[in-house]
Each structure stands twice: as structure tokens, then as C-alpha cells.
Structure 1
Amino acid sequence: MRQPRRLWILTNEYHPYIIGGLGTAVTSLTEAYVRSGVHTTVLSLSSNSSISIVKSGRLYIVRFPTRAPYYSMKTQQFNPAAIERWIKHQGFQKPNGIHIHSLQFANLSEYYKSKYQIPIIYTSHSLVTREKGPLSKKKQIRIDQQALLFKKTSKITIPSRSELYKLKKLYPFVAGKASVVSHGVVLHKSQTRLSRRHLLYVGRLVPLKGIEPLLKAISKLKQDGNKVWLDLIGTGSKRYVHQLKALARKLGISSEVRWFGFRSQSQVQKMYATYGAVVMPSSEESFGLVALEALASGIPLVSTRAGGLADFVNSSVAQTIPRADGTAIAASIKAMWSNKKLTDKRVAAGRRLAAHYQWPQAANRYKHLFRQLQGSNTSDKRGSIDHAH
């Protein structure tokens, strides 16, 4: 049975407009699809009011503006009819598989599935109903959209076992069509790096990521007479970032902490290998791509085993943090410094482990799932699929 020749990727994040792990994962996976011979069209958001198209070999990136007629602010959904009209006018052929990553495209994927019997795989990067914060009208819309997508989609993939467990508990009806497909990583050569006293945090600046206890840990290490520096890469709400910076001032660590804000994925990849260690103090993670990227970069990792991190973070490859509080984080960082031989051993083991998580393998898993779905779909058995867009 042949692999899918034409895929659509539906995502609100794609290089260079990446907010977090979703955008990094989708971009890397798409590149792996393209390298393996699949003609791939990414449908994403435009940062301005016009449609933009970028073509590069077998890859098309089409960005639609979030305004009428293509998008409805009320439903927070792209409009299938308007997008189909534009796509037909441009001469794009229908895909024989759709891989959706973002809820804003739920109606579009369902439209193509029901109208043309195109198999859909939905990768759930996080469960909206488990997101912290008040239940706003906007959040309720997203919860309803995700539940509908779980019902209607052909296959659901989740990046970790802990997320799959939570998904089945919340939505028991998905049991027969949900499975784990791990994210991948790009292996990097080690470079000359800073001292292990120079720590790096990468990720969104949100409460679940454990940044407040991390700042308290830096304060505790400083008070104990240790030289320590922390750089933070990532963005969050203005209010929360202001709160974090105020905490750093209050703790007397402003000169030890630098706030880098947003950096592109390619910049981050280069930066990893120059730092002394990556710290990941999360209390919740659906996968934990940053931790895997740290291992792939040959850099010491100090991390919790929250959520999806438990799939690959253990004491063989990292200094584990038993709980996300300041004292425990400080003790774990100190242990990473003290046990130099053990830390070096973990770095080598981490590189070997990361080599098993690469994007081409993830792309192959997805192509296998699409082949299964096409095999069970008689409309896809009628003839061969050509290579053109």
C-alpha cells in the first residue's frame, strides 16, 4: 500500500511564527514529510490581512488572514467554503490525507473529511479542559471544538503516555482510535560551552512551567555562596512577566537573571550547546520537547518528571527534580554540579537516548497511520494518486 502522496498540515503555528513546542514540532515534522517525498501543503495563519504563499520544492506554505471571509472571530474557526473556493481557484488538488494540529482548523478538516472522505489525523498537543485558569466563554468554545474533533477525526495521536491516559479518562470514546506518537529532535554537535553555573530555561512564561520556584532556587543557591546565572528564553503575558521580574528583584537576583524574550527556533538550537545546563522545573508537560532538545545537544539536564517528561527523563540521563519547589530545584542543581563524573555519564546517555527520537521516525509512524486509514477507506482504493499539487 502506497504512502500518502499529498498531505495538508493544518496549524496555527509554523516557522518562523512559533510560540512554543507545537510550532517547533509541526515545522520539524513537516520538513521530515517533505524530505521523505510527500508533497506537503501547510495551511496556517497570516500575520497581516492578505493571503501569502511560499513554495519550496515539494512544500507549499499558505497563510490565511484571521478575518472574513476566511475566518470567523465568533466561532474562532476558519471558514471551509471560502478556503475551498480559494484553493480551487489556485488549482490546488485535494490532499489524500490531512494532519491537523490546531483547533481553528477543526471545521475545515471535518468539511473535507465528510465531503471527500479524506482521512484525518489530529495530533492533540494539549487538552484544553485541563488548562489552568477560569472557564471563559472563549475557553468553553475551545473545549467544545476539541471534544468534537476527538469525535469526528479518523485517528488521534498524543505525544506521551501520560497525555494518552488523561485523554482516555476525559473522553473514553477515543480508546479505539488514539495512540502515542512521540515528538522527535535534531541531534547537534557539542560546542565549547559556558561553565555549568550558567543555566538556561526555555519555554513559555506561564505558572505551570515552574519559573517562580526556579527563581527561588537561584536565590537560595546565591545565599549559600554559589556563583550562578540563569537566562530565560520565552514569552508570556505582560502581567505575568512583570510579576516574575518583580519576584527576581525582591529575591535580590536581578544581576544573576537575564530575560531574553522570544528567540527563533534556529537561534535556540544554537544556544543550547553553549550553556552549562538546561533546567526544566515544570509541574505539567504534555511532552517536554525542550528537555529532549537539551539531551540531543549534549548538555546536562536538570528536570522534573511531570507528565510526558516521565517517558524519557530519568536518573540515567538527567538530574531529576523530585518536586517543583525552590528547595528541591536548588538541591538538584547543586547535585548536578557536585557529581561531575555522574553528570558527564548522564550527558553521554542522554545523547544516545535522543538519537532514538528523530523526526524521520515520527513521520514514518504517521505515514503508516495514513496508509492504514486509506486501506480502510474504499474511496481511496480506486486509483493511483499523482505527484502534483
Structure 2
Amino acid sequence: MVSVHTSPLAQPGTGDAGGMNVYVLNTARELARGGIEVEIFTRATSSEEPPTAEAAPGVLVHHVPAGPFEGLSKNDLPGQLCAFTGGLLRAEAHNPAGHYDLIHAHYWLSGQAASVASERWGVPLVQTFHTLAKVKNARLADGDRPEPYTRVFGEEQVASEADLLIANTAAEAAELRDFYRADTGRVDIVHPGVDLATFSPGDRRAARESLHLPPESMVVAFVGRVQPAKAPDVLLRGLARLRHTDPELARRIVPLFVGGPSNTDLYWLPKLAAELGLADQVQWRAPRSGEALAEVYRAADAVAVPSYNESFGLVALEAQAAGTPVLAARVGGLPTAVAEGRSGLLVDTHSADDWAAALRTLFGNRHLRDRLAAGARDHARSFSWEATAAGIRAAYLRAADARMRRISRAVR
């Protein structure tokens, strides 16, 4: 596997680390449990990182030096792809011929490097984009910068060259077809999963005590990178609008933000909270994962996912697995991740009025919240990393078969 811009060992929820990190690490673990040895190549970001680390039995992470360890944003990394690709090729040279059977690239930067290695080694290339530039640019948040043409062109190249593309949902498969003219015969749909053992229902009062939250308040949590594309401001603006339409209810809702800034002003969201008169109401917590993150979901009455674009929305799935209903934007893969009316509610726009109305619907009706909470865990049970890995294994076999057929035709 190739994951250039972010390591699966990094803490999700800050910088460039997010759902993709969770996806890569969990699918690698499950593939290894099924007998597939996995080696993950990522760019080294610290001189203290070991060249190779074991992430799990059968899963190795290689830290490839490519450019300065620190101070590079994701947008700076195209200039380091040659160095990274050279490191990737050298790694194979230290192994017996035919050591790698297939390359699975994550994100477009990885696809650029992996396509060179795929050609050199004569092995299939499978690509998962996770997010798509053309889709992001079509649904930009106010004040957010559009993705550069370099990325658009890079994605077009990889989409045409990969033996197989893996889409998280049918919606993403349609985007690959409509925006990138991808051959639908080369696209497999494999849903991401969730760790149902870690993210499970628990004692809400105890979870609130551990997070030092008011026990009798109603808590709506936002989990993830604090950046315009994830739209945490939409939640704040909706709550501020609710103060005008239902002030008593609005005063009882505590917005809890768990995450860190991602290439943005560290204080932009607290500044907005102050401007909206919500500074005393908002709670802030650092990024966390595993059981500590599960406690956040258990402490919340609902989890908000107001993003402008999500290829799937792992936060929504984790929250539901913990028995917490989700309030999400109707974008990307979220209508798949959230069962509307059964495990959560979907909001059609990002306007303050619509989010205020949705907050009022959910938090003004205890019976509805309880019903959605019961349906949340049931819905999450239909997703697992074991099922995701099984789908990926099938995709690998299909990619290998497609490459063999193409070689046979070329020989004839």
C-alpha cells in the first residue's frame, strides 16, 4: 500500500490525518489476518521515525525520506514525488524479484508514485482516491481554496491508468464516471467499516464525567479536523440561529468539538464562536482515537457531520456503532453511512436556518433521539472492517485478472 501524505500511524483529527488513516490501518490489519502480507509506504515526517515499524502482525510501515521532514503541507508534496518514488523503487530492489504482487494506492499523490512502480514491477495497480478534486471544487465551502489543476490532472492520469478503482459508495462510483470518465467496468464499490468492539454503546453519565461535561445538558459533538471543508462553523451558525427561534432549547445544547486545526488558523473557530456569542457554551477537546474517542461518542446525544463533501464519513459510522444518532449533511457517501430516519437525520443544505431547524427537530424530541439511537447501532452492524477487507481481496483478484487479460491481448 502507498499512502504518501499521511501515515496510518498518525493521530486522526488534526493536520492531514483523518479517515484515510483509519481506513488504511484497519484494512491492512484485516488483510494481514486473512494471510496477505502488507507493506505500507509513507513519507517520513520526522528524523526520529524508524525506517520501518510494525503496525500489526503482518503489517509493516516504511517511512520513506522525501524532502524536509517538517514544514511541508499536502500542497507542497507534488514536488517531492520523484524522491518518494525513488525510495519506493529502491525498497523493491532489496527484495527478491516478484516480492510484491499488487500495489494499492490511497489518494492521488500515492497513485502518481504507485503507477510508476506498477509499471516497473509489472504488477496490478488498485487505486482508492478517498476524496476527488473535481467534486471538492464543485462543493467548496465559503472561503475555502479550490484544489489546484495539478491535482485534477494527476487524478485524471491515475484514474485512466489504474487496473481497478475502489469507490467507497455508489455515489463515489458515479462521480468517478461523471467527473473522470472512468470505465464503470473498472470500478468496484467497497464500503468502509467500523470497529464494532471498540465503538460500542456505554454509560453516558460516566463518559460525561470523564470528559468533564455538564451531566444534565444535551451534547452535540463534532469530531474531526477543524477546517472549512468539514464545516464545523455550520454547526455553530445553526446553534446561534436556534437561539433566536427557540432560545430555551438552544441554551441547553452544548457543542463539543474534538479535533485540531488542519492547515488553517488555529483560532478561527473559537473566534467565530465568540462572534456568535457562543464562547461560554462551546467545549473544546484534543484529538483522540480508540476507546478515548468511543467515550466522546457515548457522551454525546448526537454527532454532527456537516461536511461539504465526504466520500463516506467514518465519524458518522463510529458514532452510530456507539449508539449515538447522527445529524449529517446530505452529501457524498453520508446518505449511505447514515440511515435517514432510522439512525440519524440528513440536512439538505448548509444554511443556518436549516441546521437550526434540524437541531430543533432532534433535540426537541427525546422520543425521536431514543428511537434513532436504537437504530444507530443496528445500522452500524451492517458495516465491518472484515467485510471491507473481503471486498478489497475480491478487488485485488479482479485487478490481477484484468492485468493478465490485457497482457495476453498485447502479446497476441
* 1:191 aligned partner: 202
Q: Which whole-Å CA distance do the structure 2 matches of 1:290 and 1:115 have between them?
A: 37
| Range 31-40 or range 370-379, more displaced | 370-379
SS of residue in 1 equivalent to 2:248: coil
Q: Which whole-Å CA distance do the structure 2 matches of 1:209 and 1:305 have between them?
A: 13
Matched, 1:181 2:190: yes
The 1:205–1:375 alpha-carbon spacing in structure 2 relative to 1, beyond 3 Å, is same
Q: Which whole-Å CA distance do the structure 2 matches of 1:196 and 1:43 have between them?
A: 45
Identical pairs, percent: 21
Alignment of 1:373-388 (within 5 A): 373-378=399-404
The 1:331–1:81 alpha-carbon spacing in structure 2 relative to 1, beyond 3 Å, is closer
Q: Tell me, which stretches of 5 or more residues in structure 2 are unaligned? A: 209-215, 408-412
Matched, 1:118 2:123: yes
Alignment of 1:283-294 (within 5 A): 283-294=308-319
Match of residue 100, structure 1, among 88, 102, 105: 105
* 1:384 aligned partner: none
Measure how far apart 1:74 and its partner are. 5.9
Measure how far apart 1:255 and its partner are. 1.1
| Range 205-214 or range 226-235, more displaced | 205-214
* 2:9 aligned partner: 15
Q: What CA deviation, in whole Å up to 9, does each residue of 1:273-292 have, x standing for no partner?
A: 22222112223222111111
Q: Which whole-Å CA distance do the structure 2 matches of 1:202 and 1:60 have between them?
A: 28
Q: Which whole-Å CA distance do the structure 2 matches of 1:100 and 1:143 have between them?
A: 16
| Range 39-48 or range 174-183, more displaced | 174-183
The 1:377–1:135 alpha-carbon spacing in structure 2 relative to 1, beyond 3 Å, is closer
Matched, 1:262 2:295: no
Measure how far apart 1:155 and its partner are. 0.4
What TM-score comes out, normalization by structure 2 length? 0.81
Check whether the contact 2:200–2:294 (CA below 8 A) recurs between aligned residues.
no
Measure how far apart 1:96 and its partner are. 0.8
Matched, 1:85 2:83: no
Q: Which whole-Å CA distance do the structure 2 matches of 1:378 and 1:318 have between them?
A: 45
SS of residue in 1 equivalent to 2:88: helix
Check whether the contact 1:39–1:58 (CA below 8 A) recurs between aligned residues.
yes
Measure how far apart 1:378 and its partner are. 4.1
Measure how far apart 1:180 and its partner are. 1.9
* 1:232 aligned partner: 257
The 1:348–1:325 alpha-carbon spacing in structure 2 relative to 1, beyond 3 Å, is same
Q: Which whole-Å CA distance do the structure 2 matches of 1:60 and 1:48 have between them?
A: 17
Q: Which whole-Å CA distance do the structure 2 matches of 1:21 and 1:116 have between them?
A: 29
Q: What CA deviation, in whole Å up to 9, does each residue of 1:309-354 have, x standing for no partner?
A: 1124211221333432222222222222333223222222221111
Q: What CA deviation, in whole Å up to 9, does each residue of 1:162-189 have, x standing for no partner?
A: 2222221111143331232111111233
Q: What CA deviation, in whole Å up to 9, does each residue of 1:164-223 have, x standing for no partner?
A: 222211111433312321111112331111456112101222223332231122224455
| Range 224-233 or range 50-59, more displaced | 50-59
The 1:282–1:134 alpha-carbon spacing in structure 2 relative to 1, beyond 3 Å, is closer
Check whether the contact 1:319–1:335 (CA below 8 A) recurs between aligned residues.
no
* 1:306 aligned partner: 331
Check whether the contact 2:173–2:184 (CA below 8 A) recurs between aligned residues.
no
Matched, 1:332 2:330: no
Q: Which whole-Å CA distance do the structure 2 matches of 1:182 and 1:296 have between them?
A: 15
The 1:79–1:302 alpha-carbon spacing in structure 2 relative to 1, beyond 3 Å, is closer
* 1:3 aligned partner: none
- Aligned residue pairs, count: 370
Q: Which whole-Å CA distance do the structure 1 matches of 2:200 and 2:402 have between them?
A: 43
The two structures, once aligned, show a CA RMSD in angstroms of 2.8
Amino acid at match of 1:12: H
Measure how far apart 1:125 and its partner are. 0.5
Amino acid at match of 1:246: K
Q: What CA deviation, in whole Å up to 9, does each residue of 1:296-317 have, x standing for no partner?
A: 1101222222221112421122
SS of residue in 2 equivalent to 1:273: helix
* 1:352 aligned partner: 378
Q: Which whole-Å CA distance do the structure 2 matches of 1:189 and 1:239 have between them?
A: 32
The 1:322–1:94 alpha-carbon spacing in structure 2 relative to 1, beyond 3 Å, is same
Q: Which whole-Å CA distance do the structure 2 matches of 1:372 and 1:238 have between them?
A: 38
Q: What CA deviation, in whole Å up to 9, does each residue of 1:3-37 have, x standing for no partner?
A: xxxxx344533123431111111111111112222
The 1:251–1:82 alpha-carbon spacing in structure 2 relative to 1, beyond 3 Å, is closer
Q: Which whole-Å CA distance do the structure 2 matches of 1:319 and 1:196 have between them?
A: 21
Matched, 1:274 2:299: yes
The 1:210–1:85 alpha-carbon spacing in structure 2 relative to 1, beyond 3 Å, is closer
* 1:109 aligned partner: 114
